[in-house]
Chains A and B, each alone.
Chain A
Amino acid sequence: MAGVITVAVVDDDRMLLDGMRSWLGSVPELRLVATAGTVGELLAVPAGPAGTPPDVVLLDLVLRDASAPADNIRRLRAAGSRVLMISTVPDRTRIIEALRAGADGYLTKDNDLPTLVAAVKDVVAGHGAHSPELAFACAHDDSPSRPKLSPRERQVLLDYASGLTLKSTARRAGITVHTAKDYLDRVKAKYQQAGRPAYTKIDLARRVREDSLDAG
């Protein structure tokens, strides 16, 4: 079944799971293969055909089992899925944590179906699933461990965070939509890189070099 993206949803809200099932049922390119209340529940059951993990897991940011979002994301990533975070309220600290832990995108639950489908496709294509909320969280991240952003990246991030479409953001920056998206992806990648543990001195040295290159 080439071209069909397998999706799983982890959320402790049954109504949302039901809604998601009927929503995604109407989209031919996506197939909902599993729903679960917790990450453990999802991983316990072999999901796809021949036990292959779903391409994308839509993961609720805050689950009732009090699990840490970062742990959930790492477990799902380790199992071979990409992770798109969904939540009711944008909690910026948790969004940043999720990004560092390897999530590929973040959406609030009030987005419409086309936006959700587009985000899933972006994630599968190796891009980030960008949203103004995610961009806002990154643009105004003032934690000491935040990655360094170039002025251009920051400008694109800020404009996208203000709610502009990618097209308008690109126009304001005088770049193509493709380049604008590339900037946002680079920001996401920086967070994911900064989030991964630096085990060796060689790793550390490389990250210092990256940082100084970014700064310059």
Chain B
Amino acid sequence: MGSALPRARSFMILTTLLYRASHLTVGVVAVAQRGGRPVPYLGIAAALGLSVLVYGTALRRGWFDVRHVAADVLVTGCLLPFAVYAWGGLRETPAIGWAMLLGGSSSATAAIALRRPHALAAVAVLVATHLVGYELVGASPAVLGGHLNSLLSSAVMAWVMWWYLRRQGRLLDEANARALAAEAQKARYAERLDHHRALHDTVLATLTTLAAGGVDANAPEVRERCAREAAYLRRLIQQTAEEVHHPEMGAALEEAVSSVECLRLRVTAQYHGLPEVPPAVAAAFADAAREALNNVRRHAGTGHAYLTATGDAGGAGAVVTVVDRGPGFDPDRHVPGFGLRGSVHARMAEVGGRAVVDTAPGEGVRVELRWPA
């Protein structure tokens, strides 16, 4: 359940509580000014006590207890005017006014706290008893009309407010739920893209190579790579999506290199002055380099790649190049496949790095990975 309903409820409790408080204030002042018999004091005390019960419980529990509200309607709303009339000696319209007024807040609370038939019955009872009450003190039709109007409009306004808040709350909750779902969907999509990219660079590349038949599937290195990638798939299925990142950039690159070496790509790798980089950056370098190397293996036709990894002249950054001496391509006409564009560029951009591909027909391909960009 969303968070809007509890908020609507506490707002309504507060509103009706304030409404009741204003009525009680009028009552306390009127009784205190008049003085005299104890019954009006008992009456206002009973109203105070019931109010504490109704609103205190509601505040504590988050919503009204219907029995408390029913009791309040019957006692504060219906009996109180007759009690102060019969035993309190309040026989004129102005004197009994405060007792009648309390019926308004009773009707407002009943309208929102009770189920609709009960709420209608409560308002009807209030209207009926108050009609009788004002008839007893001989109130003018104007007073009577005004009071009945106030009883009814209190109920209607409270109910409309409550209906509106609930409706808005529901809409808000639905919107929030939709936003959350979209967010989760986006996160899942990003994760799936990560996995797809990883699969593209590893399992798919391995299977494609094996299917092409140029590689001895029984070679220990190939089997080792298959075992590594099967382990990766298992992890993927188990949803333990925690990526194993390598703390050292060199080690991460070396693993990328050895994974393509297993597929008979000769790699001349040279490292110099590699800085300490965040694990995510080292992993991005390794993934991007692996894809660039896979690209050499697939497209260069030379079976040989050069990889260099060095610290940037600046100090904290690093530059990795993956170079082949194959046929290259015309960068203006060639639409790079998923490999170079999707994997390499996106992987570096993810960690705030960049990849630059330089090539010309007959001159091999040079991929430069740089972090920070």
Chain A residues in contact with chain B, CB under 8 A? 90, 92, 108, 110, 132-133, 136, 140, 142, 161-165, 167-168, 171-172
Query: Are B321 and A163 in contact, CB atoms less than 8 angstroms apart?
Result: yes
22 contacts between A and B (CB under 8 A): A90-B270, A132-B268, A132-B306, A133-B270, A136-B308, A140-B272, A142-B273, A161-B308, A162-B306, A162-B323, A163-B307, A163-B325, A164-B323, A164-B325, A164-B363, A164-B364, A164-B366, A165-B325, A165-B363, A168-B325, A168-B360, A168-B363
List of B residues within 8 angstroms of A171 by Cβ: 360, 363
The docked-state distance in angstroms from the alpha carbon of A133 to that of B272 is 12
Closest to B325 in A: A165
Query: Are A168 and B310 in contact, CB atoms less than 8 angstroms apart?
Result: no
Highest count of chain B CB atoms <10 Å: which of A140, A162, A167: A162
Closest chain B CB from A108 CB (angstroms)? 8
B: number of interface residues (CB 8 Å)? 19
Known: A108-B268, A136-B270. 13 other contacts (CB 8 A): A92-B272, A133-B270, A136-B272, A140-B272, A162-B308, A162-B321, A163-B268, A163-B324, A163-B325, A168-B360, A168-B364, A171-B360, A172-B366
Query: Are B323 and A172 in contact, CB atoms less than 8 angstroms apart?
Result: no
List of A residues within 8 angstroms of B325 by Cβ: 163-165, 168
| A interface footprint on B41-81 (CB within 8 Å = 1, 0 otherwise) | 00000000000000000000000000000000000000000
The 10 closest A-B pairs by CB, nearest first: A163-B306, A163-B323, A140-B272, A162-B321, A168-B363, A136-B270, A162-B323, A162-B308, A165-B325, A164-B323
How many residue pairs link A and B with beta carbons under 8 A? The number is 51
Q: Is B305 an interface residue (CB 8 A)?
A: yes
Closest chain A CB from B243 CB (angstroms)? 28
List of B residues within 8 angstroms of A132 by Cβ: 268, 270, 306
The docked-state distance in angstroms from the alpha carbon of A110 to that of B324 is 16
The docked-state distance in angstroms from the alpha carbon of A140 to that of B271 is 10
- B268-303 contacts to A, CB under 8 A, are 268, 270, 272-273
Q: Is B358 an interface residue (CB 8 A)?
A: yes
| A interface footprint on B320-360 (CB within 8 Å = 1, 0 otherwise) | 01011100000000000000000000000000000000101
The docked-state distance in angstroms from the alpha carbon of A110 to that of B306 is 13
List of B residues within 8 angstroms of A167 by Cβ: 363
- B95-139 contacts to A, CB under 8 A, are none
List of B residues within 8 angstroms of A168 by Cβ: 325, 360, 363-364, 366
The docked-state distance in angstroms from the alpha carbon of A112 to that of B240 is 46
List of B residues within 8 angstroms of A142 by Cβ: 273
Closest chain B CB from A162 CB (angstroms)? 4
Closest to A140 in B: B272
List of A residues within 8 angstroms of B270 by Cβ: 90, 132-133, 136, 161
The docked-state distance in angstroms from the alpha carbon of A161 to that of B321 is 10
The docked-state distance in angstroms from the alpha carbon of A171 to that of B307 is 20
